[in-house]
Amino acid sequence: MTLVDPPNGTFNVGLNIKPHVSFSEPVNELTIPAALSLSYENGGPSVPATVTVAANRLSATIAPSAPLLPNTEYEVSICGYADIAGNSGYCMAGSTFVTGASADTSNVTVATIVPRTPKRACR
């Protein structure tokens, strides 16, 4: 895994979060649903969820079956996956985060676009 959202150590995460992970190379999508998990911290049980792998096989999303519990610590981890060449990935805890008291209902805004392109008329 190269990136996990929410990042490790994040607090006050919305109860409706769908953790997202990115990989450095395409993964075998058949290995990800069983390998990627969201669990209660400190060895707790896995949260019932559906794991979806992106069409380009460079990311996956965990969609919990129900909203997460408020003010609770969770861990995103992965173990037992492979890339498309059959190479095994490392077992690792990717991110630990703590939920807040409610769902996140704020709108997303663009903070930065890289690379910056010249201004042009919108259609």
pLDDT band at 2 (very low <50, low <70, confident <90, very high): confident
Domain that includes residue 29, residue range: 3-98
Task: Report CA-CA distances (Å) from 74 to 18, 27, 45, 67, 93.
Answer: 12, 24, 10, 13, 11
Burial class (CB in 10 A: 0-12, 13-18, 19+), 105: exposed
Residue at 15 is within a domain: yes
pLDDT at 50 over 70: yes
Provide the phi-psi class of 43: left if phi over 0, else alpha when psi is between -120 and 50, else beta. Answer: left
Tell me the average pLDDT of the chain. Answer: 89
Residue at 116 is within a domain: no
Residue at 7 is within a domain: yes
> How many angstroms from the chain centroid is the CA of residue 74?
12
Q: In angstroms, rounded to a whole number, what is the distance separating the alpha carbons of residues 47 and 54?
A: 21
DSSP bridge pairs for 53: 60
pLDDT in tens, 53-63: 999 999 999 99
The domain tally of the chain equals: 1
Residue at 16 is within a domain: yes
pTM of the model: 0.83
Residue at 111 is within a domain: no
Residue 97 structure tokens = 């985060």
Q: In angstroms, rounded to a whole number, what is the distance separating the alpha carbons of residues 43 and 25?
A: 29
pLDDT at 19 over 80: yes
CATH number at residue 32: 2.60.40.1220
> How many angstroms from the chain centroid is the CA of residue 103?
17
